[in-house]
Structure 1
Amino acid sequence: MTGSEELTESEKTADSAEQVLLRTEGHAAFLTLNRPRALNALTHAMVRRIDEALTAWEHDPAVRTVVITGAGERGLCAGGDIRAIYEDARAGSEEPTAASASASADFWRDEYRLNARIARYPKPYVAVMDGIVMGGGVGVSAHGDVRVVTERSRIAMPETGIGFVPDVGGTYLLALAPGELGTHLALTGAQVGSADALLCGLADHFVPHDDLPRFLGELAARPVWDALKEYVRQPPPGELAGQRRWIDACYAADTVEEIVARLRGHGARAAEAAAETLATKSPTALKVTLTALRGAPGLGPLERVLEQEYRVSCAALSSYDLVEGIRAQVIDKDRSPRWKPATLAEVTGADVARHFGTPPAGGELHLATTPQEVAW
């Protein structure tokens, strides 16, 4: 999901060289996502440019560290270009058989390949997760070797709020979170700060925002592990550690309906608030998300989970809820989506199963699982 604003014509037509800035300094190579008015939302051209840069730097002996940052003051990246996905989803809902061959499916194919590549990149990949990091922004950061958060970090996978399902390896990452924290974040789309991101395994180190320029400057001359020693600090207190009791108890249920019932019956004010949040999300997306999240550990490595996410994402392109969710949150901004089906009870097993059982029209996503096989 993205918080993109209306763009000027020049911004809409800017090529990938302007949207992803590349530079090298000393032994470090820097990627800067450069669509600040759109909260650095990813386009297909940007994904391809990042991939090309990673190829060049992988084979450049002078480059020892790769760093990704976001332009502007608001954050690293708020996700994919949601307006483009909206137009694609509208076409897909009207002509379901063509949905998986759409531009969005092509974008996701390359994006998920990039996510897998980042996870296996042979050189240290440093992600500066300052400010807003959501959806696709998590995909280009949280699979890296060194994931740095600041006191400004706000990290989330908010897909259920637009009738979608966490992707870009999000179900893999959240399934690895302690207890049921990942289930809570996946279903509610809640934003977390630095301490909670560290607790959930979405980040590794806290560096104060004001220290980032000096830290990044050090990377040009020193190995990242040496530079980190001088800048890593303790983050401000988080919230989730103190909420583990009700989160683990409520979200351990086997169905979304039972999760909601446990949240409403627990007694904790935060649990009731979570139940109210779930009531605003797409019922279908909630059930598909829980199924995907619970199934992720059994699939094996990240690549297998991304393959499942690709199938689920392509299926969502032909759904009513994705179009309606984006309309309500991004296009008309009335914040009042009218989901179909409207309730959890109306979402059938077949509604959920179609997201996992129908191969994409453009073919499955087949990802290599060893560094020797990775050659994009």
Structure 2
Amino acid sequence: MSETTDVLFEEKGHAGLIILNRPKALNALTHEMCVAMHRQLERWLIDDAVHHVLIKSNSEKAFCAGGDIRQVAENGPEKIDVSLPFFADEYRLNTYMESYAKPLIALLDGIVMGGGVGISVHGAYRVGSEKTMFAMPETAIGFFPDVGGSHFLPKMPQNTGMYCAMTGERLRQADCYWTGILTHAVKSEDMAALAEALCEAQDVEPVLA
């Protein structure tokens, strides 16, 4: 059972499913969501029935628009001890995903920004559609490109990562694929069928190929 209804977990075929389920907030990550995802990934790591993990969204507009900064802003400097654990556990989740021993496949059918980048870009595969919109918008308010930004942005070709880090510029499907943010590209209308095929497959490589 999930600790929060804002993120749902399911086992289907050979896959574990992480379903972001906060559509009214464009799936903005809360502290509870980060903790729940980390715990579930730990469980699936030692479950031989789960060969790979899919991360997708219940929102028609967004995969994940970032962290729930509104709550952090409402806490203010007076409640910094309340806000700090959110960032600590979010970054621990990002690190865990980057080193996860089973394939992580993110289906990015919409907005993927900030914290949403952190729970997708560190996985083995990122599949995007024509609705994909990537950005690190926190830089526009003077924050550094976090969630592992200093790890993956320098790998983008021709200083595009530096450009995104300095400007918060938005990239669409073609640019995301060219820069390596995406590993695969499909039509939005084909995402559901792809998810089904990935769940049924023991090996995701032939499906993605």
What TM-score comes out, normalization by structure 2 length? 0.95
Which sections of structure 1, spanning at least 5 residues, go unmatched? Answer: 1-14, 93-98, 230-376
Deviation, 1:143, is 0.3
Map of 1:226 onto structure 2 = 206
The answer to whether the 8 Å contact 2:35/2:89 transfers is: yes
Mapped pair 1:27 → 2:14: yes
User: Counterpart amino acid of 1:88?
Assistant: N
For the residue of structure 1 that corresponds to 2:105, the secondary structure is strand
Aligned with 2:66: secondary structure? coil
Q: Does 1:57 align with 2:44?
A: yes
Bigger CA drift: 134-143 or 106-115? Answer: 106-115
CA-based RMSD of the aligned residues comes to 1.4
Runs of 4+ in 1 over 2 A off after TM superposition: 87-92
Q: Could you tell me which residue of structure 2 aligns to residue 86 of structure 1? A: 73
| Aligned partner letter, 1:129 | L
Tell me the equivalent position of 2:139: 160
1:8-23 aligned at under 5 Å gives the runs: 16-23=3-10
Give yes or no for contact 2:127–2:184 (8 Å, CA) kept in 1: yes
Aligned length, in residue pairs: 207
Same amino acid, percent of matched pairs: 43
The aligned amino acid for 1:50 is: M
The Cα shift of 1:204 comes to 0.6
The one-letter code sitting in structure 2 at the alignment partner of 1:199 is W
Deviation at 1:89, TM superposition (A): 3.7
Deviations 1:311-336 (A, max 9, x none): xxxxxxxxxxxxxxxxxxxxxxxxxx
Distance in 2, matches of 1:73 and 1:16, equals: 24
- Higher alpha-carbon deviation: 145-154 or 218-227: 218-227
> What secondary structure, in the 3-state scheme, does the structure 1 residue paired with 2:158 have?
coil
3-state DSSP class of the match of 1:168?
Answer: coil
Which residue does the alignment assign to 1:105?
84
Distance 1:166 1:103 in 2: 22
Cα shift at 1:208: 1.1
1:176 is aligned to: 155
In the aligned structure 1, how far is the partner of 2:3 from the partner of 2:116? 17
- Once residues 199 and 25 of structure 2 are traced to their aligned partners in structure 1, the CA distance between those partners, rounded to angstroms, is 29
SS in 2 for 1:60: coil
Contact 1:127 1:148 in 2 (8 A): yes
Match of 2:114 in 1: 135
CA deviation profile, 1:99-118 (whole Å, cap 9, x unmatched): 4xx22211111111110111
Moved more, 50-59 or 161-170: 161-170
Q: 2:157 is paired with a residue of what secondary structure?
A: coil
Question: Any idea what SS the aligned residue of 2:5 has?
Answer: helix
CA contact (8 A) 2:109 2:191 kept: no
- Corresponding residue number in structure 1 for 2:190: 211
Cα distance in 2 for partners of 1:71, 1:164 equals 28
Q: Distance in 2 between matches of 1:217 and 1:83?
A: 35
Q: Is the CA contact 1:159–1:165 (under 8 Å) kept in the aligned structure 2?
A: yes
Greater fraction of residues in strand: 2
Among residues 19, 25, 28, which one is paired with 1:38 in the alignment? 25
User: 5+ residue gaps in structure 2?
Assistant: none
- Work out whether residues 174 and 200 of structure 1, in 8 Å CA contact, stay in contact via their aligned partners in 2: no
Q: Which moved more, 1:56-65 or 1:162-171?
A: 162-171
More helix by share: 1
Q: Highest Rg: 1 or 2? A: 1
Residue 172 of structure 1: CA displacement? 1.5
Does structure 2 retain, via aligned residues, the 8 Å contact 1:173–1:201? no
Query: CA–CA distance in 1 between the matches of 2:76 and 2:180?
Result: 32
Please state whether the residue corresponding to 1:42 is helix, strand or coil: coil
C-alpha deviation, 1:128, in angstroms: 0.8
